[in-house]
Structure 1
Amino acid sequence: MSAPPTPGTPSTTSPAPTPAADPECAPGAGRTVRKLPAVTVPEVVVAPLTYDDNGTQKTAVEGFTVPAQLIDAGCVIQYDAPGGCLGAVKITGATIPPVTIPGSVLAGSQQEFPGVTVAGKAVPAVTSPQICQVENKGVLPTVTRKGVVRRGVSRNGAARPGGFVKGEGSVPDLRIQTVKVPEVRLPDVDVDPARLESRKLPGQEKVDVFTGEGKVSYVAPGDVLFDTDKATIRPDAAKALHAIAVKIKGEHPDAKLRVEGHTDDRGDATYGLRLSERRAQAVAQYLIRTEHFAAARITTKGFGETAPAVPNTSDANRQKNRRVVITVASR
């Protein structure tokens, strides 16, 4: 009489292979990246089914392993924006790959247990563009960047049915196990809406203050600070810069500052970029030397004509685009 069938020794569990890194989710200048938690699908180990044939161990059904999977859920990218703007947001796409439960054949027979494949699922990226204050009839209204949601996606679970096989000769009755892989789900990912509000700096009607997304930006028109095509701060500009410095010291004494220079679209773009950089550096040096800010707190950037506050469609608009922005990261 043959002994009842016995399972073989399961293989040692192996970790899921690491998926290829999405280059979009790599840290980089000009953006903040939040990686979303990866989802791990454990491997499924099916041991071989063996039986004793007069003292000899024989395999009725070969074992196999459905490999583990580590599913990259993507990331949320928050792009930096000039002062007076809310940065663009992107939730990258993600893919749940397919999975296959291999088929099996009963040794010495034509009895087959067909494999099962579950198709993969993908979810596309979603974005919300940069949005900036646009003056309307002399008023800078509050603006809102819409929230974004990447809907969750699931890959169905599956089962390869087993069954009872009646033995013949020295082969005992066998029960082939049912093999299952679980459902896999990437959950919803959402980024809340953001608001950008504006007001005038008290006592300085030409200086706008923008608040939103944990930042405060002070916008001083270039014509207030500099003569045409110059990067030397005018003596009468000290009052506006001093008022900004006092406000920052009182409300954000230890925060980092970024000083941005902007120009309009007249003239050579390269010249405008260099002028905007020199103007940003001039304001930074004023804050360091005259207002006694620590140099380590301040960075500068020139945007040239690439980030206008309003369309360059009139002399009045171009005047608004010639500006210096001092942005405080308040969180």
Structure 2
Amino acid sequence: MPTATPSTVPTPTATPSADPECVPAAGRTVRELPDVAVPEVVVAPVVDGDQKTLVEGFTIPAQTIDAGCVVQYDAPGGCLGAIRITAAAIPDVTIPESRLDGSDKVYAAVTVPGVDAPAVTSPQICQAETNGVLPTVTRKGVVRRGVARNGAARPGSSEQGVKVETVKVAPVRLPDVDVDPARLESRKLPGQDKVDVFTGEGKVSYVAPGDVLFDTDQAVIRPDAAKALHAIALKIKAASPNARIRVEGHTDDRGDATYGLRLSERRAQAVASWLIRTEGFKAALITTKGFGETAPAVPNTSAANRQKNRRVVLTVATR
């Protein structure tokens, strides 16, 4: 008889569906984690001296383990963005059943269950003045602990002069994934005790209270706000004159949310226009974004907190 060729046994080979957060998009930075490749296991058939197949061969297909990704979400100036390490999974693997031709001998299937590594997150954290003090804040580090799928063996035997080898699958491990803690340090802008300066994660943010820059419900810069804006502009120019600047507008939770969003957008645009017109910054290097009430620095639980949330933030990358 002709020599039998190995047959492919269906075993789970599909990796977990990619987390949609791993798709690069506006508002987040994604670092893909390297996949883990598990090679196929090829088991040859057992034949006798006449080339008769006594035990069918088979292949345990290769697997590619999707390790997921690390996502860092953009955050308003004066905040450290949230971090997420997505979930990952090592699927089951099965050594299939085999039978010895001409006998009742059965080599039972062996299945090794899969294991999951759940997602872990560290939330966004923002800095806010408390009792006149701007404490340094820290976003805790994040660790997704490694997980492993055990190895296994399907024992062989020697029957009626026929030797059937033990079939083994090796253990598989997804290693630990960790993101270091981050610090957000703060100080007052020299000569401008109402302007806060936050430094951390490769950027510097200058936070000016909305009440300093604008009259209530207005998006026209007050004449007496020029001093604060000029002081910020001087600092930016001295450190990195060609840096890209993001100007953000924020409001509190009072009133209509859509109105607040549009007001925050107009205020951000007003500050950007002032920087271009008065301080000579290049328009191509400035972007604006209005957050409305969606990104408060502190909970909107008091008049004092709402005042802190009405703000304009100018952020410059330092790396």
Alignment partners' CA distance in 1, 2:229 and 2:4: 79
Cα RMSD after superposing both structures: 2.0
Q: Which amino acid aligns with 1:245?
A: A
Q: Give the conservation status (yes or no) of the 8 Å contact 1:103–1:112.
A: yes
Which of 94, 103, 106 pairs up with 2:100?
Answer: 106
TM-score (ref. length: structure 2): 0.92
Q: Shift of the alpha carbon at 1:293?
A: 2.1
Give 3-state SS (helix, strand or coil) of 1:21's partner: coil
**What pairs with 1:1-331 in structure 2 (closer than 5 Å)?**
19-53=16-50, 57-166=51-160, 173-331=161-319
Alignment partners' CA distance in 1, 2:204 and 2:139: 16
Alignment partners' CA distance in 2, 1:130 and 1:19: 27
**Equivalent pairs, count:** 314
Q: Shift of the alpha carbon at 1:9?
A: 5.9
Q: Shift of the alpha carbon at 1:254?
A: 3.3
Gaps of 5+ in 2: none
Alignment partners' CA distance in 2, 1:326 and 1:131: 18
Gaps of 5+ in 1: 1-5, 167-172
Alignment partners' CA distance in 2, 1:65 and 1:314: 67
Q: Deviations over 1:35-68 (max 9, x none)?
A: 1111110110112122343xxx311111101111
Q: Give the conservation status (yes or no) of the 8 Å contact 2:246–2:287.
A: yes
Q: Give the conservation status (yes or no) of the 8 Å contact 1:7–1:47.
A: no
User: Which has more radius of gyration?
Assistant: 1
Q: Give the conservation status (yes or no) of the 8 Å contact 1:135–1:310.
A: no
Alignment partners' CA distance in 1, 2:107 and 2:303: 78
Q: Shift of the alpha carbon at 1:291?
A: 2.0
TM-score (ref. length: structure 1): 0.89
Alignment partners' CA distance in 1, 2:73 and 2:3: 55
Q: Which amino acid aligns with 1:83?
A: G
Alignment partners' CA distance in 2, 1:211 and 1:280: 21
Identity %: 78
In structure 2, relative to structure 1, the CA distance for the partners of 1:313 and 1:17 (3 Å cut) is closer
Q: Shift of the alpha carbon at 1:10?
A: 6.1
Alignment partners' CA distance in 2, 1:114 and 1:38: 31
